[in-house]
């Protein structure tokens, strides 16, 4: 009997090692190339009335292949950067290609991905001086537009699962800062939060996560990634340092690269595979490509 147990536990250990070795750390060649032989999801443009802004606003909505109104889906809100709008991900990141490919390989859960315009002002186009204070302010105001206008619209228009564990928020740069601010600031609404190359709009760590114990309890996954040559790296790093000091599990994923879509596409590739699945908290520090060991001061 002892022998059987010993053999069984050996096999189990070997299995663990094999599983550990199989962790995929970045998108493989072709992860963002369209494959014709697979099923493709669909992208809709939707318009919703925003009480916050007082206008009708647009967003893009991606649904995975096989989407059916008789199912209910979790939702990822995927946000753009300071120079973009609801089409930025589509133009620069081909998220529908990345997600179709992952879906065809059985690597992501079926989900709805909403790409809003995160500049919540009347003229929300990315024209003129995109750094103008009123335009930048729109990225803060978007919290109310998202929570009070867009999410209710999506949830009454699409077959969605509407509890916090089925709602994720992630974004790039300004949208990364928004995702961290809005996600961590509304843990009753979001259990999955991701910031790619988060911008200076990211709140100070103590403001972002004033109650680390609560965050630890509520979060399914907190993802922070950045290119190592990105001038904005410090906004991710200071957040990571604080989370580390306060024992809030998270992924701190550093990869070679700057402030661009190579990094953000890879971020979407990596993050989307975690979403809406059980998470092994103990393995979260194994995903980074580069050394990200921060010293706790």
Residues forming contacts to ligand FER in the complex (CB under 6 A) are 81-82, 136, 173-174, 199-201
SS3 74: coil
Within 63-106, residue ranges assigned H as helices are 88-93, 95-104
Closest approach of Cβ 60 to ligand FER, in Å? 18
Closest approach of Cβ 228 to ligand FER, in Å? 17
Nearer to ligand FER by Cβ, of 119 and 167: the residue is 119
CA–CA distance, 70 with 7 (Å, rounded to integer): 46
Look at residues 199, 200, 163, 206 and name the one whose alpha carbon lies nearest to residue 184.
Answer: 206
Closest approach of Cβ 196 to ligand FER, in Å? 10
Q: How far are the Cα atoms of 1, 176, 196, 281 from residue 222, in angstroms, in the given order?
A: 43, 12, 11, 10
Closest approach of Cβ 138 to ligand FER, in Å? 11
Q: How many beta carbons lie within 10 A of that of residue 26, not counting itself? A: 14
Q: Cα angle at 263 between 147 and 277, to 5 degrees?
A: 55
Nearer to ligand FER by Cβ, of 220 and 265: the residue is 265
Nearer to ligand FER by Cβ, of 81 and 110: the residue is 81
Closest approach of Cβ 201 to ligand FER, in Å? 5
Q: Which residues pair with 251 in a beta bridge?
A: 223
Largest CA distance in the chain: 76
CA–CA distance, 140 with 147 (Å, rounded to integer): 12
For the chain, the C-alpha Rg in angstroms (whole number) is 19
Nearer to ligand FER by Cβ, of 100 and 145: the residue is 145
Nearer to ligand FER by Cβ, of 79 and 248: the residue is 79
Residues 6+ apart with CB under 8 A from 123: none
Closest approach of Cβ 82 to ligand FER, in Å? 3
Nearer to ligand FER by Cβ, of 83 and 210: the residue is 83
């Amino acid at each position: 009997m002892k022998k059987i147990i010993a053999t069984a536990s050996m096999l189990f250990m070997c299995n663990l090692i094999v599983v550990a070795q199989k962790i995929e750390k970045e998108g493989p060649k072709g992860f963002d190339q369209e494959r014709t032989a697979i099923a493709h999801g669909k992208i809709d443009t939707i318009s919703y009335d925003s009480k916050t802004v007082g206008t009708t606003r647009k967003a893009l909505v991606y649904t995975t292949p096989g989407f059916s109104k008789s199912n209910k889906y979790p939702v990822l809100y995927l946000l753009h950067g300071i120079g973009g709008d609801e089409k930025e991900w589509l133009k620069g990141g081909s998220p529908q290609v990345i997600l179709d490919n992952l879906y065809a390989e059985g690597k992501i859960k079926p989900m709805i991905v909403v790409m809003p315009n995160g500049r919540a002002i009347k003229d929300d186009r990315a024209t003129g001086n995109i750094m103008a204070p009123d335009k930048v302010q729109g990225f803060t105001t978007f919290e109310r537009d998202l929570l009070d206008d867009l999410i209710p619209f999506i949830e009454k228009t699409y077959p969605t699962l509407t509890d916090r564990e089925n709602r994720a928020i992630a974004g790039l740069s300004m949208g990364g800062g928004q995702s961290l601010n809005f996600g961590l600031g509304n843990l009753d609404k979001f259990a999955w939060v991701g910031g790619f190359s988060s911008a200076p709009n990211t709140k100070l760590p103590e403001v972002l996560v004033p109650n680390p114990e609560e965050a630890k309890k509520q979060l399914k996954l907190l993802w922070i990634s950045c290119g190592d040559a990105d001038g904005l790296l410090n906004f991710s790093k200071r957040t990571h340092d604080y989370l580390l000091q306060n024992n809030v599990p998270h992924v701190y994923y550093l990869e070679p690269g700057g402030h661009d879509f190579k990094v953000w596409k890879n971020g979407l590739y990596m993050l989307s595979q975690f979403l809406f699945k059980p998470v092994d908290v103990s393995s979260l520090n194994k995903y980074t490509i580069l050394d990200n060991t921060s010293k706790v001061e």
